[in-house]
Amino acid sequence: MAALVGGGLLAGAKAIPNAVDLTREDAVRFARAVADSIALKGKAEPGDKTMLDALIPSVEVLEKSDGDSSETLTAMVDAARRAVEETAALQSRRGRASWMGERSCGHPDPGAIAYLRFLEALAEQWELRRSPRARSSP
């Protein structure tokens, strides 16, 4: 998983090589490049019960967003959470979890959960930075 995520992050960075201030469009290009790289290198697609099942719906939310970061992050978390819950019943077809075969049914994909936790932490930190108390701190 580390190689897929690392490769995805590198692909994302290449998609926005000269970005200084990250715009919504930059974030979309970055996120889409990450997802595309993970799909290509992992030979996976949505429905294979991988992190892509949580990543792609959240990227689609970002693509359709109006630019309000707080609401967008909340919607991205919700989309990822729904995807994790909806795919838990599936059998893993790619990655290490696929080794479990039918025993993977009924359990959420660990990579999708890791991505969901990342988004939750990002949204939490975003809110902390936006709070009036955080702005008045030295």
In angstroms, rounded to a whole number, what is the distance separating the alpha carbons of residues 21 and 128? 20
pLDDT at residue 133, rounded to an integer:
62
- The tokens for 77 are 């978390």
Residue 101 backbone class (left: φ over 0; alpha: ψ -120 to 50; beta: rest): left
Q: What residue spans define the domains of the chain?
A: 2-136
The counts of H helices and E strands in the chain are 6, 0
Is 2-136 assigned to CATH 3.40.50.720? no
In angstroms, rounded to a whole number, what is the distance separating the alpha carbons of residues 44 and 66? 29
Angle between helix axes 52-64 and 69-87 (nearest 10 degrees) is 150
**Percentage, residues of the chain above pLDDT 70:** 94
Q: Is 107 a residue whose pLDDT tops 80?
A: yes
